[in-house]
Amino acid sequence: MKFKNILKKILLFAVLTFLTGCGSLIKQPAPIITYYQLDYSPEISNTVPINKTILIKQFFINGTYDRDAIMYSDEKYKCNYYPYKQWISTPQDMITESFRRDFMKSGAFKGVITPGQLLKP
């Protein structure tokens, strides 16, 4: 009789543990990831075009900051990353592309190229 009571308690404990574990199997909506990009309105003044082509090299940004996750700091010497807020592209790429775009729009140079364009025939 005592054995049956112990067996019932073990079985009840196993069933409750199983049901508790299954509670996490209920489908939860995935967290929404919000994407951000750098954007600004450059002041393009009337410039006299230079008959030269300018090469815009890839900007270098320290690896701590050049990642998809957006970093923040709320204490000195401590940084964290937002888990669901990301850059649409790495800051290094966004800054390089913004400079290329704005130099082209300015009309200040005969041409604006990037290192990748040098490889194209």
How many distinct structural domains can be found in the chain? Answer: 1
pLDDT at 115 over 90: no
Q: What does residue 88 show for φ and ψ, rounded to 5 degrees?
A: -70, -25
Residue 19: predicted pLDDT: 65
Domain range for 64 is 2-118
Residue 66: predicted pLDDT: 87
Calculate the alpha carbon distances from 118 to 53, 57, 108, 112 in Å.
12, 11, 20, 11
Do β-strands 34-36 and 50-55 pair in parallel, antiparallel, or remain unpaired?
unpaired
Q: What is the pTM of this model?
A: 0.66
Q: Rounded to an integer, what distance in angstroms lies between the CA atom of residue 49 and that of residue 84? A: 44
Q: What is the mean pLDDT of residues 75-81?
A: 91
